[in-house]
Amino acid sequence: MTHQLSKKAQQILAHLETTGKALGLSELSSALNLKENTVRSLIESLRQQKLIQDHEATTMRYYKLSAEGKRFAKLGLPEIRLVQALLSKGPDAFLSELLARLGVSKTEGQIGLGWARRNGWITVTKMDDQSKVRITPQAKTSVTQHPLQQMLEAGLETGEFRLEDTDIPPSDWKTIQDALDKRKLAELVTHKSLTVKITPEGRTALKLAQDQKDLIGDLSPDLLKSGVWRESAFRPYNLQAPTSPLYSGKKHPYLEFIDYVTRVLIGLGFQEAKGPLVETEFWNCDALFMPQDHVAREVHDLYHIKTPKHLGQIPDQELLKQVAQTHEDGWTTGSTGWRYKYNTEIARRLVLRSQTTAVSVRFLRQHQQAPLRMFSIDRNFRPEKFDATHSAEFLQCEGIIGGEGLTLRDLMGYLRAIAEGVGVRKLKFKPGFFPFTEPSIEGFIHIPGLGWKEALPGGIFRPEVTRPLGIDFPVLAWGIGIDRLAMAALDISDIRELTTRNLAWLRQASMRF
């Protein structure tokens, strides 16, 4: 295989060949007068081509002074400055006088006082409600030979130091390390460096590159005009060399999935419908036989509209009257209703739509003849806590099928067909509860990494829902969590990835069926 080597890559290989030993990043950068980032990039390229190989890693530990550490390295530790001030004044002095002489803050003075007492350099007594400080005999020697101060001064010039580079005996290192850490004067930094050496393949590639340095790599207008190219040799090109990947424009994977589901449902004879995102509680809840004053209403938490404050309109007064009576006493549905006084003002309140079932009841009011098939894939809003399977804004695939003789078995068959149509094979059903369907079921799908998650709820609309709408035949209804179906189809385990900005995932993601 022919390797195309840049001039700088050849310099690195040539230097490794000449020295005959493994070298690190900083050594190569310094020797070749190249920036470390440039050398790092070249080394990675040469390593991938197997022209160099890793030799051994070395670890260096050093201390990096903090801002306070640099200050104390220059001015001295506060306990040392305190004792030095005391030595220049006399064997004892009032603390306030010493701090004034030093020109330090009260906090720094207290730090110096505390450490000086801990080191046994001073004693403190009370006199006339003031603290009087007296120096001890061993203070002078200890101050001049204090190892921590020596260590800080070792890093004064560069802001860094190593214990190994000082004259401090190893027996004192542990004490100094604890003091540096406790007082936050310096941070221990661990730096790992790797050395590389040239491989036999690297030597061969270098020799070929040097032999071909006079070959023509690019044709220029001057070469063509002069005719020199006819008598020259050309550098061979490696047609097998890898190229940079090209990413063409594509539809977002989630949108692609939704379009696929839409095409499938339309192909099965379903009619697509839409509805407003801002709904009245009448269509979002009341028309679905969700009581205004019952815990069943809490199945769907709502976002109430703050602005505008005015109430929505319900122009179909006949339907409003029938729904109200159904809530109060069951009307002609055979039910006893919820047995409370229906409130029209509550029905007119504006909310963000919490379910696309509101689209279904609007559709049924306008289409009262069987057979009928309708679906809607649109946004809904609930005050959910964000996690791997929940979002405050989500898409729902709503669907209804109306006709004589339909049963719950038919609904389960449809839901299974939809799930399997998008590549979901593992699913199961159990009885469920919804205020507007009876019987009701909950369908669960298996999402790798998350386990079984509810995604296929449905049931048969209750007479309390269909009769006021003018429907006298069975209506199957579902509200599929299409976000969760998409997670299974796109092989992801977090719903937030459906709206990610991760370009790597967006470029390669596709449906797995």
The domain that holds 501 is classified in CATH as 3.30.930.10
Q: Region 223-244: what's the mean pLDDT?
A: 77
Residues 261 and 398 in one domain: yes
pLDDT above 70 covers what percent of the chain?
A: 93
Does residue 313 lie within any of the structural domains?
A: no
Q: Region 174-184: what's the mean pLDDT?
A: 83
Does residue 303 lie within any of the structural domains?
A: no
- Number of neighbours of residue 9 by Cβ within 10 angstroms: 23
Confidence grade of residue 136 (pLDDT, cut at 50, 70, 90): confident
pTM of the model: 0.53
pLDDT score for 402: 94
In the listed set 153, 186, 219, which residue is the last one of a domain according to the structure? 186
Residues 150 and 268 in one domain: no
User: Measured between alpha carbons, how far is 298 from 152 in angstroms, rounded to an integer?
Assistant: 65
**60 pLDDT higher than 80:** no
What does the chain come to in residues? 513
In the listed set 140, 159, 186, which residue is the last one of a domain according to the structure? 186
Residues 163 and 262 in one domain: no
Does residue 380 lie within any of the structural domains?
A: yes
Residues 178 and 269 in one domain: no
User: Measured between alpha carbons, how far is 485 from 373 in angstroms, rounded to an integer?
Assistant: 21
- Indicate the average pLDDT of the chain: 84
Confidence grade of residue 1 (pLDDT, cut at 50, 70, 90): low
Residues 273 and 148 in one domain: no
Residues 268 and 137 in one domain: no
pLDDT score for 303: 83
pLDDT score for 295: 62
**Full DSSP string of 292-358:** TTSGGGGGS--EE--SS-SPP----HHHHHHHHHHHHH-TTTT-----S---HHHHT-EEE---THH
Does residue 291 lie within any of the structural domains?
A: no
Does residue 489 lie within any of the structural domains?
A: yes
Provide the domain limits for residue 468.
256-277+356-508
Confidence grade of residue 214 (pLDDT, cut at 50, 70, 90): low
Does residue 385 lie within any of the structural domains?
A: yes
Residues 361 and 496 in one domain: yes
pLDDT score for 320: 94
User: Measured between alpha carbons, how far is 443 from 113 in angstroms, rounded to an integer?
Assistant: 72
pLDDT digits (tens, 9 = 90+) for 332-348: 999 999 999 999 999 99
Q: Region 188-214: what's the mean pLDDT?
A: 80
Residues 145 and 269 in one domain: no
Between 261 and 155, name the one with better pLDDT: 261
Residues 383 and 465 in one domain: yes
Count of structural domains within the chain: 2
Does residue 175 lie within any of the structural domains?
A: yes
| Token reading at 408 | 């719950």
pLDDT digits (tens, 9 = 90+) for 472-486: 999 999 988 888 888
Q: Region 64-75: what's the mean pLDDT?
A: 84
pLDDT score for 2: 55
**209 pLDDT higher than 70:** yes
Does residue 269 lie within any of the structural domains?
A: yes
Residues 383 and 492 in one domain: yes
In the listed set 124, 153, 186, which residue is the last one of a domain according to the structure? 186
**Sign of the alpha-carbon torsion through 309, 314, 317, 323:** negative
Residues 147 and 271 in one domain: no
Of 29, 355, 33, the closest CA to residue 196 belongs to: 29
**Sign of the alpha-carbon torsion through 418, 420, 421, 423:** positive
User: Measured between alpha carbons, how far is 418 from 101 in angstroms, rounded to an integer?
Assistant: 85
pLDDT score for 57: 67
Most trustworthy range by pLDDT among 294-303, 309-318, 418-427, 467-476: 467-476
CATH number at residue 179: 1.10.10.10
pLDDT digits (tens, 9 = 90+) for 249-302: 888 888 989 999 998 888 888 999 999 999 999 999 999 999 988 664 565 578
Residues 365 and 497 in one domain: yes
